[in-house]
A = this chain, B = another copy of it.
Amino acid sequence: MNFASDNIVGASAPVLEALVRANAGAMPAYGADEITKRVEAAFSRIFEREATVLLVTTGTAANALALAAAVPPYGLAVCHAESHVIDDECGAPEFFMHGAKLVGLPGTGAKLTSETVATYLKGLRRADRQMPPKALSISQVTEGGLVYSLDELAGLSAVCREHGLFLHMDGARFANALVTLGCTPAEMTWKAGVDILSFGGTKNGCLMAEAVVVFDPALVEGLAHRRKRAGQVASKGRVLSAQFEAYLADDHWLANARHANRMAALLAEGLAGTPGARLPWAVQANELFPILPRTLDEALKEAGFIYHPWSTKSLPAGEVVADSEVMIRLVTSFATEEAAVRRFIDVARSAARREAAE
């Protein structure tokens, strides 16, 4: 009954079991353990190439480290105005980048178009007083639950190449996007021009496990030192690596994401048939942002459903949330039960019917 986020539940069973198994015995500390080595190899296998992998404890740390690798202290990083890096991390990227600046651009559903980015970059002055742009950071899935297509990624990547920017992908919900596109991890990242990736595990089955995956060798230097001085090297490295090993094994991560996305699709389907409710943009992963009559919202809360109201800043042109309405966010996860989804729809439809009858 809790659709507040995908980090409100613990780990999935295989991940938790792996953590318990890995607890036994002596292992070298600070990530020199064998499990960490195996996980690094697993990442290379999954991404079909050598990649430098740094396990960290939070998505904020992964994003901030990745951006610090790409952006010097006097540089700019471009992102969406509602992206997590600019809006939800209390300035972590600015801290790790040593004062470099994030610039937020607009876009429906928290998604950037290559036109928006190109226009912004072309408008910048070439002058000492202008911080030079050094990276573009996009979220795959976006904060609005949208998924960049491979073509869109290629377009953004082309703009980055033209202007000399690195391309960072915040993949807190990487798996959810991947199963939507049905492509390979390589296709959604380095083959599309992504230079450095925040790879999230926590929201999709881990208890606490995130990684920075570096594709561009130019970004590797010093990153291990940056992680250490950020207090992000786990003393008992297994606490992170054991989770990832189980997460990546047997396509467990993909199965988790598929379930989460399917639950979101079910919710979307149900809301489509609910009078008064509408979705401002397509549901493409495991989040949806319905606009509901306040009466529906109240009925759902009364029935015990938990979720957050949401920002209306990235609505499409022309879309307006009336005073009698509210825009909310619903998030599904590997642990979301279909019964809860069905109950949500039932309550929403009943309320809508009652409303219509009055």
Most buried by B among A91, A131, A207: A91
CB pair A232 B231 closer than 8 Å: yes
Question: Chain B residues near A56 (CB, 8 Å)?
Answer: 231
Question: Chain B residues near A239 (CB, 8 Å)?
Answer: 207-208
Q: Which of A16-24, A182-190, A275-283, A286-294 contacts B (4 or more CB under 8 A)?
A: A16-24
Tell me if A233 counts as interface (CB < 8 A to partner B): yes
Could you give, for residues 2-26 of chain A, a 1 whenever the CB lies within 8 Å of some chain B CB and a 0 otherwise? 1011011111000010011011111
CB pair B20 A74 closer than 8 Å: no
Tell me if A122 counts as interface (CB < 8 A to partner B): no
CB pair A225 B131 closer than 8 Å: yes
CB pair B208 A234 closer than 8 Å: yes
Chain B, Cβ-Cβ closest to A57: B57
A90 touching B208 in the complex, CB below 8 Å, given contacts A9-B25, A98-B73? no
Label chain A's interface by main secondary structure: loop
Known pairs A74-B95, A90-B228. 11 more at Cβ < 8 A?
A2-B26, A10-B236, A57-B57, A57-B232, A58-B232, A58-B234, A60-B229, A90-B229, A95-B98, A129-B228, A231-B232
A10 touching B25 in the complex, CB below 8 Å, given contacts A57-B231, A203-B235, A239-B207? yes
Cβ < 8 Å to B, chain A residues 24-82: 24-30, 56-62, 64-65, 72-75
